[in-house]
Amino acid sequence: MLKNIFILFFTILFTACSNISKHTLEDNDKVLLSKQLQEFKTHLKNGNIENVRPFFSENLKNDYVLNELETINFQNIDIFYSSPSFENDTATNTVALVSNGEAIYFEITYKFLNSKWIIIYIRQKGDK
């Protein structure tokens, strides 16, 4: 009997602990990413790079990307993005920058932190 109680206790304990770290996104969290993507696109098109900085997590690669964004005039570049796919508290989508019939594609990964989406990783498609 005591053995069964221990097994039941540990089963409940481990099941409960494994679910603690998982954040379930709600529909309004997903809608928020769509709004942030549109806001991000608007800031880029208007050349407001300082307003784009809060969308990025702080890491060396993102700092490099932000510095590169400052050198680009986005007024003549069309920006398209796919609908994000969601997994736990992250989302991924593809962004295309099109200018003069030439397109560059990026895969962007977002993380939901402190009630907002931030860019944690950018990879140009075709790069390894």
Domain CATH number, residue 43? 3.10.450.50
79 falls within a domain = yes
Q: What is the pLDDT of residue 28?
A: 85
Report mean pLDDT in 10-residue bins for the chain, 128 residues. 62 57 72 94 92 93 91 93 94 95 95 94 81
Tell me how many domains the chain contains. Answer: 1
43 falls within a domain = yes
Domain assignment of residue 69, given as a range: 26-124
6 falls within a domain = no
Q: What is the pLDDT of residue 41?
A: 94
Q: What is the pLDDT of residue 127?
A: 60
10 falls within a domain = no
55 falls within a domain = yes
∠ CA 93-49-35, nearest 5°, is 40
Q: What is the pLDDT of residue 2?
A: 60
Judged by phi (left if over 0) then psi (alpha if -120 to 50, else beta), residue 14 lies in: alpha
